Each structure stands twice: as structure tokens, then as C-alpha cells.
Amino acid sequence: HWGYMTTNGPSTWGKDFPIANGERQSPIDIVTTAAEYDSDVLGSNALSTNYTPESEVKLVNNGHSIMCQITKKGVLTGGPLGKDEYRLEQFHLHWGAEDNRGSEHTVDGKMYASELHLVHWNASKYSSFADAVQKPDGLAVLGIFITPGVACNQFKVISDNCGKLKTSGAEMTVDTTLDPTLLLPSNTSDYWTYLGSLTTPPLFESVTWIVFKEPVEYSKEQLLALRNLVDSDGNHMQDNYRPPAALKQRKVKKTFT
């Protein structure tokens, strides 16, 4: 089964998933000086999130990350997504064994300690996540960089329960008033955006990526909670990030000068 160890990690994925060497793979290294400011596409209608606070969340250790399934109908639209409404399906994270690595996107080669992904599907054009997941305009993922600092209160419901999700396949439903909006950085106007893919197998090239410039802070304890999770092979779930893929014929756009 695919994973992040030497024997089944990113360098081996091309065997079972040839698209791993495709034309629009993710993540990428964001070269800030090469990103193009594009006012018309991005400036005209600002990116907007309209999430409804969850009353309960379903946390799943899916063997390669900790995933939080969303039940309410949160919507993302605007910016590179135009008028299409993308519905929040789930969020999960990628992280390292130490603070100096763990994010999937890098900024001028800099890696953050972790990266949070909010996965949305195009509900204006498709009938379900499964229907959208292989379409070129099917998904939109918000990427939020995480750096060690003060605790993120909104993330406590996840980090406080990681200890109970130690084994792969474990899941639990927790009553909470988690508001996904509060997982975003305060500045959601400044971001990079480009056309890419899922960063885990099946690596479908169906994602419009929106990566915020401003990182958010999680405490050392919250990062440690992630590192204590166990993957499907019984190892500590750490370094579950794919290294940057080739940019090929793509341009990265930015909303700030």
C-alpha cells in the first residue's frame, strides 16, 4: 500500500499511479519572484468562504493523515473559482517529524512545520465529491502553512483527540462548535493559486490550489499530538508530505504585489 516510507513513498508512487509524473502535479515550490500578479481574474471578485460551524465532527485516522469529515454545507467561491461554488468536504494535514519540515508546498524552498488542507468540490457543476474528484475543475483545496507558536484554539478539538485515534482506521465523532473559518489565517486576501493535483494517490489532476501567504500558529504540543498518530503500518505517522513536483508549463498567480 502507498505511504511515505522508503519502500512505498512518493518516489515509488509512479509505479501504481503513472500520473505522478503528469503535467499538473502538486505540491510545487512557489518561487515568489516568478508568480504573476493577475488583477482581473483575482481582483474582480475576492475569494469568499461561507462556512457553517459544525455541531459535531467526525475524526478519522485514515492511515496517512488525520481527516476531519465535514457535515455542514460550507461553501468557497470567488477568486480563481469565479462564480462556481465549491463545497467543503473534509480537511486534513501533512506534517514532519521535526519543526523544520512537514509542509507540502514550499516558498522559495522554505518548508513549514505542517500544512492544513481544506478540500472542496465543485457543487455548481458536479453532483458529489466522487463525481468531481477526477474533473479538471472538480476540486479546490485551501493550503494553510503552520508554524510553531501559540496554540490554535479551533484546532484543539482535533489535537486533544489524536491520542484516541492512535491506530489506522480509528474514527470518532466529537461534539464541538468547530468553525472552519477560524482555521484560516487572518489575511485571506494574499495567496498564490495554480492548477494542480491531489498530493496523495490517486494524484488526480483536478485541484485548483489556493495557498495563503500568511501562516497560522499551532503550539508545540499540538504538533506533537500529530506526530504521535500511528499509520497503517504501525509506525508513527510523520513526514507524510510529498516533496515538490515539477512546475512544467504552469504559471503561479498571486493576489498581492
Active-site annotation holds for 64: yes
Look at residue 133 and give the partner it binds from Zn ion, ligand J4D, none, a contact being a CB closer than 5 to 8 Å depending on partner kind: ligand J4D
Q: How many helices (H) and strands (E) does the chain have?
A: 5, 15
Chosen residue from 105, 117, 120, 242 binding Zn ion by CB under 5 A: 117
Binders of ligand J4D among 9-68, rule CB under 6 A? 62, 64-65, 67
Per CB under 5 A, 24 contacts Zn ion? no
Residues 6 or more apart whose CB falls under 8 angstroms from that of 144 comprise 115, 116, 117, 118, 183, 184, 185, 212, 215, 216
Per CB under 6 A, 117 contacts ligand J4D? yes
Q: Kindly list the distances between the CA atom of residue 1 and the CA atoms of 4, 54, 76, 232, in Å, as whole numbers in the listed order.
A: 10, 33, 33, 9
Task: Name the active-site residue from 64, 92, 94, 120.
Answer: 64
Look at residue 62 and give the partner it binds from Zn ion, ligand J4D, none, a contact being a CB closer than 5 to 8 Å depending on partner kind: ligand J4D
> Smallest gap, in angstroms, from Cβ of residue 10 to ligand J4D?
12
Per CB under 5 A, 213 contacts Zn ion? no
Matching residue, cell 508530505: 241
Per-residue cell: 242:
510529498
With H, G, I as helix, E, B as strand and everything else as coil, classify residue 163.
helix
| CB 87, CB 75: distance < 8 Å | yes
Quick one: which segment of 22-30, 43-51, 110-118, 209-217 binds Zn ion (CB under 5 A)? 110-118
Binding interface with ligand J4D (CB under 6 A): 62, 64-65, 67, 92, 117, 119, 133, 141, 198-200, 202, 207
